[in-house]
Amino acid sequence: MILMAQLVGALLGLLAVIFGAFGAHMLKKIFTVDQLNSFETGVKYQMYHAIVILMLSFNLNLESSLEKNMVFCFIAGTFLFSFSIYGLCISAAKGKKLKILGPITPLGGLFLVIGWGLLLYHFMKNLI
């Protein structure tokens, strides 16, 4: 589980840099200001959570179900949240907005919130 988290964290970080550069140089020519801002939000959240996943993989054993579920929530949430935003922005810029992706973004956000909640619980359980 640790190696998988490290690989996914590194991949998400790598893609965040690539997507950020792509957005800054190529997409600003075809995106509206709102679309560019949304795309950048996806990139930021992707990078933030790539770092979180890497930090968790280096600091936790990722053996308990709590730790595994936490990492799963961060990974699934990042993919659902950020990649649905990318899809929405790109499809809207092409004039064929994929509306099916609309409900996926908040679902990804929910997974991220649950991941943060599980992390908070992980730290608080020893205090209680």
Q: Report the distance separating Cα 76 and Cα 105, nearest Å.
A: 11
Per-residue tokens: 100: 């099916």
Return per-residue pLDDT of the chain as tens, 128 residues: 999 999 999 999 999 999 999 988 999 889 999 999 999 999 999 999 999 999 999 999 999 999 999 999 999 999 999 999 999 999 999 999 898 999 999 999 999 999 999 999 999 997 87
Domain ranges of the chain: 2-124
